Amino acid sequence: MDKIFFTYKIPDEGMLLLKKFDVEVNTEDRFLQKEEIIQKAKDAAALVTLLSDKIDAEVLESLPKLKIIANYAVGYNNIDIDEARKRGIRVTNTPEVLTDATADLTMSLILAVSRRIVEADRFVREHRFVGWKPDLFTGPSLSGKTLGIIGLGRIGKAVAKRAKPFGMNVVYCSRKPLLSNEEEKLNVSHLSLEELLRSSDFISLHVPLTQETYHLLNEKRLSMLKAGAVLINTARGPIVDETALIKALRSGRLAAAGLDVYEEEPDVPQELIDLDNVVLLPHIGSATKEARIEMAMMVGRNVAAVLEGKEPPNPVV
């Protein structure tokens, strides 16, 4: 019987799809070290991983029976894809199901940052609220402002649709621009990255982490921002040069930021924690019960398909 090893417990709905196999799960509330994954999965035909699990060439070489790595995430930059392909190991992910959840969180961050929700909440909890004042926690309105979306894939499009009822003008940059009829339907306009940075009041990131997008927003590009702009990142931390981001926030070039991801996740620089003009979240873009359950079921279907000699529904390789 094929063995499946889970590096971390996922919702039961996905695991139930695999009950006919030999399933072993890390039941501890902690992430496993590379050596532990190698030891526990040495006889596994399937490995179910999180984005925090680094599955490199050393791990793959140590798991000779491995047929599939099912990543419980949309991204898969934690896995050495080239090495997996070379070894004939299938890799799958959980696309599409996170679209609405992540788009909702993006809009939540835009609202939380612009209306200074976290600051105001802390102000009340610290018993500093003594009455209404004309200048108490004022922030920018969304109506009439320009939202620049970097990467207009599924999530980017979903954010664009959500921004429109708030009266926002939406522009985007993407490696492949939409057709004119698609732009008209979404009511969005294509700009170059530099034009978008210079003209947007809010910038939201929705590109995958690749060699091309690593530090896409570096010090030079962050210096192009309109004074008082707001940056939202629910994509991947390393897309932004965190050192340059902190500098831009401190200088006032960037008015505020809403972050769900970090460059050296889970480590968050103390410099960011100390800033009042940043809302910090613990990578919860997909954290709706519905999304997490569907992700688990996608993992179950992918693993079952490969172990049964079939094509997985969500292949990366």
**What residue ranges do the domains of the chain occupy?**
3-96+289-307, 99-280
Is 265 annotated in the active site? yes
Please, are residues 2 and 307 in contact by the beta-carbon 8 Å criterion?
A: yes
The whole-angstrom separation of Cα 82 and Cα 71 is: 15
pTM of the model: 0.93
Q: What is the pLDDT of residues 268-316, one digit of tens each?
A: 999 999 999 999 999 999 999 999 999 999 999 999 999 999 999 999 9
* H or E segment and range at residue 283: none
Tokens of 64: 């000779």
The whole-angstrom separation of Cα 107 and Cα 169 is: 14
Please, are residues 279 and 232 in contact by the beta-carbon 8 Å criterion?
A: no
* H or E segment and range at residue 49: strand 46-49
Candidate list 24, 83, 265, 271, residue with the active-site label: 265
Residue 16 corresponds to which amino acid?
A: L
Is 308 annotated in the active site? no
pLDDT-based confidence at 205, cuts 50/70/90?
very high
Candidate list 154, 198, 215, 283, residue with the active-site label: 283
Candidate list 236, 263, 292, 294, residue with the active-site label: 236
Helix ranges restricted to H, the chain: 12-15, 34-40, 57-61, 81-86, 99-114, 117-125, 154-163, 180-186, 193-199, 219-222, 242-251, 270-273, 289-307
Q: Does domain 99-280 have CATH number 3.40.50.1820?
A: no
* Neighbouring residues of 199: CB distance < 8 A, sequence distance ≥ 6: 146, 148, 171, 191, 226
Q: What is the pLDDT of residues 11-23, one digit of tens each?
A: 999 999 999 999 9
pLDDT-based confidence at 165, cuts 50/70/90?
very high
Please, are residues 40 and 32 in contact by the beta-carbon 8 Å criterion?
A: yes
Is 236 annotated in the active site? yes
Confidence at residue 279, expressed as pLDDT on a 0 to 100 scale? 98
pLDDT-based confidence at 229, cuts 50/70/90?
very high
Q: What is the pLDDT of residues 93-140, one digit of tens each?
A: 999 899 999 999 999 999 999 999 999 999 999 999 999 999 999 999
CATH superfamily of 3-96+289-307: NAD(P)-binding Rossmann-like Domain (3.40.50.720)
pLDDT-based confidence at 163, cuts 50/70/90?
very high
Cα distances (Å, whole numbers) of residue 295 to 9, 11, 314: 13, 9, 11
The whole-angstrom separation of Cα 100 and Cα 285 is: 9
Nearest to 121 by CA among 133, 129, 111, 109: 129
Confidence at residue 151, expressed as pLDDT on a 0 to 100 scale? 98
The whole-angstrom separation of Cα 192 and Cα 171 is: 10
256: left (phi over 0), alpha (psi -120 to 50) or beta: beta
Same fold, 3-96+289-307 and 99-280: yes
